Amino acid sequence: MSDEGRRPQTQDALDAHRLQRRESHAAQTYSAFLKDLCRIGGMAPEFAEQAAVSVLWALEQRIIPDEARDLEAQLPVQLTNLLACCNRPMTSRPEKYTREELLERVGRDLNMQPDEVEPVVRAVFATVRQHVSEGEVEAVIQMLPRQMRDLWQRPI
């Protein structure tokens, strides 16, 4: 059959194809994020997802909302969708809390002791560091008190 006998694809078909590619890419980037988190933190995928959401939610409460949005813009879409589904209100101002309070918040959320949760927080931050620009990581770190910044160092 010649090219003249073929019907050109409709705009709807093109849009559907683009949507399918975008969704496939989103799933791949989220899968890569979780795989990296599992490897870095030595955790199961189900727990890794819970840990990522818990740690990132706590982090977002500690930084200004504009910076939280900038960070989310570079995270996998499926992860930002999970953050949006949390039944926790987003504050208009950063909450002032300490490193210990961050660990307590995440520990309560994940049903862990604060001394057990620090490696989880470090693993999430290390994974975020691999998946977003270094400039964005530095912008987030600069918003944190000095005592929290070392949590962004890679786990030993």
29 CB-contact burial (10 Å; exposed 0-12 / middle 13-18 / buried 19+): middle
At 76 the pLDDT is: 92
At 17 the pLDDT is: 42
Instruction: Read off φ and ψ for residue 101, nearest 5 degrees.
Output: -70, -35
Q: Which superfamily does 11-152 belong to?
A: Uncharacterized conserved protein DUF2267 (1.10.490.110)
* Per-domain residue ranges of the chain: 11-152
Residues with Cβ < 8 Å from 94, sequence gap 6 or more?
61, 62, 63, 64, 143
At 133 the pLDDT is: 93
State the DSSP code for 111. T
At 26 the pLDDT is: 47
Q: Which residue stretches of the chain have pLDDT < 50?
A: 1-2, 5, 17, 19, 23-26, 156
Q: What is the pTM of this model?
A: 0.80
At 14 the pLDDT is: 52
At 25 the pLDDT is: 44
